[in-house]
């Protein structure tokens, strides 16, 4: 055997080892680039070419050809001297670094995680660099989604609880702490039963567990208790979370505090109830009496109002005509108005003296009213046979009697205090007032006189009386309705701030 043959035989294992190493590097799942001191690529495996979209031609490639490498902000480019390979040539070991790569071949960009080390010879001299990297674009996108979802969970206004499949709390978001008063530290390791209020029985919780253990979503409104003992109502959704095998691993509970909504619903229910009661009162037709045409209407500023009008059948062929105004607005005023109506109708059966009737109503209201609450009222007794009218005015806006020429025949001034101020107070009444054909009794609330235009001009009493006289040929009901529309037109679109109520009684014949 020749010397050359011996050398070739000795070199073959080395060559084979090198080729094996090249093949192994070529097929690595990680990108690897080995470069010399000048940055020329000695090895660039297939994964590296794929990740960086490097042309697989035979032209020499160096790190100077690498473009479009950006810092994590995605906009600040790396200079050649900042590249991991360049730092490795200076002796630095570059640990895991995230780099954004975007160029003509990668217009949408990718994220890579890079490691770089100096390439040393046997004497420890730097002969080049070794750069290893992975495409982490999908991981970054997943991390971004997780970060967005985590941020959403952390910042949502609804409380979120995550428990294991034994209902042990593993996570609560800040909204849970703010809503319930239980801190994260106080909640972790406990169960959602820390919110138990005692309002739900065992059967309720059995149904809950049967639902979620079967893999179904549970939805219900629960009555819960905060750390400080305060009760709150919550719309809760409990969703079972499953692994790839379909086994339940966790439960996610979303709690929406609907306490204020429940309060609003309850208030709306009370308003609707009060409005229904009022509308029932307002729809009751006035009595039909020969020689008289009577009508009334109330138009509340809110869904419910404190204005009151009524027609009552009294002994001795008499008709009671009432108009009043309860202080305030809303449900409480509507309820007080209903109470006033009930008392007036009850006591009107006991006496024919309207002053005495108001005294009885006053004593009843005094014991019921809160401090500062009161009611004004004009109560008239119309004797249809004699054609006369008596009245008592407890602090109300004056009423008016107009003759056929539109002149004010009598002003029904306030004769006493409003109802509900003083106990045991005795109310008086006027002497009888004769009514003649063509006379009109007009009773108003201050929602008419105090109506304003945008320039703060008041409607006042004179325009109201002039309107009533001008339309005296219309029916009492038409006068009432048209007066309301006239007042609203006067306000030129301003909101109605007070209840508007009118009662009209026309003397059409008979009487004196």
Contact call for residues 310 and 354 (beta carbons, < 8 A): no
The rounded distance, in Å, linking the Cα atoms of 243 and 287 is 76
* Percent of residues, the chain, with pLDDT higher than 70: 88
What is the phi/psi pair of residue 276, to 5°?
-60, -40
134 shares its domain with 188: no
Mean pLDDT (whole number) for 242-254: 93
pLDDT for res 335: 76
Cα–Cα distances (Å) from 123 to 119, 120, 444, in that order, read 11, 8, 112
Q: Are residues 425 and 456 in the same domain?
A: yes
What is the number of helices (H) and of strands (E) in the chain? 13, 21
Q: Is the pLDDT of residue 4 over 60?
A: no
Identify the pLDDT of residue 338: 81
What distance in Å separates the CA atoms of residue 508 and residue 512, rounded to the nearest whole number?
12
- Examine residue 149 and state whether it is found in any structural domain, yes or no: no
The closest of 188, 173, 163 to 241, measured between CA atoms, is: 163
pLDDT tens, residue by residue, 204-243: 999 999 999 999 999 999 999 999 999 999 999 999 999 9
**Whether pLDDT at 429 is above 90:** yes
- Show which of 140, 174, 192 is a domain's final residue: 140
User: Are 222 and 234 a contacting pair, CB within 8 Å?
Assistant: yes
Instruction: Please provide residue 111's backbone torsions phi and psi, each rounded to the nearest 5 degrees.
Output: -110, 135
Note whether residue 357 is domain-resident. Answer: yes
Domain boundary among 112, 140, 168: 140
User: Does 342 reside within a domain?
Assistant: yes
> What is the chain's alpha carbon radius of gyration, rounded to the nearest angstrom?
45
Task: Output the domain CATH number for residue 97.
Answer: 3.30.450.20
Question: Rounded to the nearest 5 degrees, what angle is found at the Cα of 398, between the Cα atoms of 481 and 498?
Answer: 50
pLDDT digits (tens, 9 = 90+) for 87-106: 999 999 999 899 999 888 78
Q: What is the CATH number of the domain that holds 295?
A: 3.60.40.10
State the virtual CA torsion across 366, 369, 374, 380 in degrees, nearest 10. -60
**346 shares a domain with 490:** yes
Using 50, 70 and 90 to split pLDDT, how confident is the model at 58? Answer: low
- Kindly tell me if the per-residue pLDDT of 157 is higher than 60: yes
Q: Is the pLDDT of residue 17 over 90?
A: no
Q: Domain range spanning residue 171?
A: 156-257
Report yes or no on 16 lying in a domain.
yes
Same domain, 135 and 162: no
Beta strand extents in 184-338 (DSSP E only): 218-225, 231-242, 248-257, 292-299, 307-314, 318-326
Evaluate if residue 14 carries a pLDDT over 60.
no
Query: How many other C-beta atoms are found inside a 10 Å radius of the C-beta of residue 19?
Result: 10
Report the candidate in 135, 133, 137 with the shortest Cα–Cα distance to residue 32.
133
pLDDT score, position 478:
96
d(CA 172, CA 420): 54
DSSP secondary structure, 466-487, as one string = HHHHHTTTS-HHHHHHHHHHHH
Domain assignment present for residue 264? The answer is: no
Query: Strands 169-172 and 159-164, how do they pair?
Result: antiparallel
pLDDT digits (tens, 9 = 90+) for 445-478: 998 999 999 998 999 999 999 999 999 999 999 9
Number of structural domains in the chain: 3
Q: Both 168 and 135 in a single domain?
A: no
For the segment 74-81, the average pLDDT, to the nearest whole number, is 89
How high is the pLDDT of residue 463? 94
Question: DSSP secondary-structure letter at 40?
Answer: B
Residue 206 structure tokens: 């059995």
Q: Is pLDDT of 484 > 50?
A: yes
pLDDT at 437 over 50: yes
| pLDDT at residue 511, as a whole number | 43
Looking at the structure, tell me whether residues 370 and 412 fall in a common domain. yes
Indicate if 61 and 200 belong to the same structural domain: no
- Would you say residue 265 lies in a domain? no
**Prediction pTM value:** 0.54
For the record, the structure tokens of 105 come out as: 């071949």
């919110």: which residue's tokens?
195
- Whole-number percent of the chain with pLDDT over 90: 57
CA–CA dist 494, 220 (Å, integer) = 44
Are residues 315 and 220 part of one domain? no
pLDDT at 512: 42
Boundary of a domain, candidates 140, 174, 193:
140
Q: Are residues 449 and 475 in the same domain?
A: yes
Name beta bridge partners: 319. Answer: 313, 382
**Which H/E stretch holds residue 341?**
helix 330-348
* Same domain, residue pair 160 and 134: no
pLDDT at 16 over 60: yes
On whether both 136 and 167 belong to a single domain, the answer is no
The pLDDT mean for the chain works out to 87
DSSP E strands: which ranges in 422-510? Answer: 433-434, 440-444, 500-507
CA 467 to chain centre: 45
* Domain-embedded: residue 267: no
Give tens-digit pLDDT for 369-381: 766 678 999 999 9
Instruction: Check whether residue 313 and residue 348 sit in a common domain.
Output: yes
Which pair of tokens denotes residue 508?
């059409």
Question: Of 154-158, 204-208, 280-284, where does the model show the most confidence?
Answer: 204-208
Note whether residue 278 is domain-resident. Answer: no
Question: Is residue 217 within 8 Å of residue 238, measured between CB atoms?
Answer: yes
């Amino acid at each position: 055997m020749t010397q050359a043959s011996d050398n070739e035989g000795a070199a073959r294992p080395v060559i084979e080892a090198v080729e094996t190493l090249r093949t192994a590097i070529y097929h690595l799942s990680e990108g690897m680039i080995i470069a010399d001191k000048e940055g020329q690529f000695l090895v660039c495996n297939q994964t590296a070419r794929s990740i960086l979209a490097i042309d697989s031609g035979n032209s020499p490639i160096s790190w100077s050809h690498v473009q479009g490498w950006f810092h994590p902000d995605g906009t600040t480019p790396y200079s050649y001297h900042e590249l991991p390979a360049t730092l490795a040539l200076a002796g630095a070991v570059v640990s895991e670094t995230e780099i954004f790569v975007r160029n003509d071949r990668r217009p949408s960009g990718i994220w890579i995680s890079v490691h770089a080390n100096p390439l040393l010879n046997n004497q420890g001299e730097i002969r080049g660099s070794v750069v290893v990297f992975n495409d982490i674009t999908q991981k970054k996108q997943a991390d971004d989604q997780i970060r967005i979802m985590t941020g959403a969970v952390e910042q949502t206004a609804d409380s979120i609880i995550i428990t294991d499949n034994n209902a042990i709390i593993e996570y609560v978001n800040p909204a849970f702490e703010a809503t319930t008063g239980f801190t994260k530290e106080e909640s972790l390791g406990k169960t959602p039963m820390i919110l138990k209020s005692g309002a739900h029985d065992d059967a309720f919780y059995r149904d809950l567990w049967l639902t979620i253990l079967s893999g179904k979503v549970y939805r219900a409104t629960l009555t819960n208790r905060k750390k400080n003992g305060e009760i709150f109502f919550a719309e809760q959704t409990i969703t079972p979370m499953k692994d790839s095998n379909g086994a339940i691993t966790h439960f996610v509970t979303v709690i929406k505090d609907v306490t204020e909504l429940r309060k609003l619903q309850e208030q709306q229910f009370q308003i609707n109830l009060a409005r229904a009661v009022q509308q029932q009162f307002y729809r009751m037709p006035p009595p039909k009496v020969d020689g008289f045409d009577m009508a009334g209407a109330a138009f509340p500023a809110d869904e419910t109002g404190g204005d009151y009008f009524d027609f009552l059948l009294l002994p001795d062929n008499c008709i009671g005509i009432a108009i009043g105004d309860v202080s305030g607005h809303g449900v409480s005023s509507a309820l007080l108005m209903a109470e006033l109506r009930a008392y007036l109708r009850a006591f009107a059966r006991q006496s024919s003296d309207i002053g005495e009737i108001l005294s009885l109503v006053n004593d009843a209201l005094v014991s019921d009213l809160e401090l500062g609450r009161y009611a004004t009222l004009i109560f008239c007794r119309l004797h249809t046979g004699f054609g006369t009218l008596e009245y008592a005015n407890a602090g109300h806006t004056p009423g008016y009697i107009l003759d056929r020429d539109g002149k004010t025949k009598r002003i029904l001034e306030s004769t006493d205090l409003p109802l509900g101020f003083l106990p045991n107070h005795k109310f008086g009444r006027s002497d009888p007032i004769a009514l003649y054909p063509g006379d009109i009794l007009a009773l108003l609330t201050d929602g008419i006189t105090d109506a304003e235009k945008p320039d703060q001009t008041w409607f006042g009493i004179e325009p109201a009386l002039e309107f009533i006289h001008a339309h005296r040929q219309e029916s009492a009901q038409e006068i009432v309705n048209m007066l309301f529309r006239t007042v609203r037109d006067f306000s030129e679109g301003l909101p109605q701030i007070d209840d508007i109520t009118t009662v009209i009684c026309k003397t059409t014949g008979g009487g004196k």
